[in-house]
Amino acid sequence: MNDFRQTLPESGGYSATSAQAVRNRVMRNTYWLLTLSLIPTVLGALVGLNTGINQIMGNSPGTSAIVFLIGAFGLMYLIQRNRNSSLGVALLLAFTFFMGIMLSRLLGFVLGMSNGSQLIMMAFGGTAIVFGVMASVATTSKRDFSNMHKFLIMGVVILIVASLANIFLQLPALMLTISVMAIAIFSALLLVDLQRVINGGETNYVTATLTIYLDVYNIFTNLLMLLGIFGGNRD
């Protein structure tokens, strides 16, 4: 009996060590894949800018929205279905390439300004700061932020509906409101998603990378949009 009792802490310690190793592996693979995903995003944006796809999207915003929704949700569905295989990684990189192409419309608009390059760097820097802050809070805070997830997803749905409606309404005030709300909502989602990975709530690095990538992408695009509106110089 004494021998049996003495083995319990060792078994528990082994399980805790094993769980920590899994969390560390998921975090490491997620950060590496997230960094890698930036490469096809940039390549996709360059393709969009150099082939004139960004101008086509600008001339047909309704069609662009339909293509975006079908392409994005279709690829996300396929990624989820194949998240446990190498095909899931390939599909994720294809998704980030597609998102880069869709980003080229906004980049083309901003680059048409005399200070467009500076605005893009500012948006990139601002996004990096938000990521750093949220990662620090997720790592150090003892509070569980997972209960925010359901309400934040409801906010995302409202943003999508409002964005689609504004394609036809073309209300500048609504566009600004959507961008400000999007930065706030996706920053909070970034915190929730990072904490889930850090705490071991997410054990698949492909899924983790997808969710965090979407948070970062939306923060960057909406921050860039606001900078373009308020800080852009058109000479």
The mean pLDDT value for 61-83 works out to 92
What's at 140, amino acid-wise?
T
Q: By the 8 A CB rule, do 126 and 119 touch?
A: no
Report the C-alpha gap between 201 and 228 in whole angstroms: 37
Is the pLDDT at 42 greater than 60? The verdict is yes
Higher-pLDDT residue of 6 and 101 is 101
**Single pTM value for the model:** 0.89
- Confidence band for 230, pLDDT divided at 50, 70 and 90: confident
Report the C-alpha gap between 118 and 206 in whole angstroms: 32
Which regions of 49-188 does DSSP assign to beta strands (E)?
none
Q: By the 8 A CB rule, do 130 and 187 touch?
A: yes
Helix (H, G, I), strand (E, B) or coil at 18: helix
pLDDT in tens, 148-161: 999 999 999 999 99
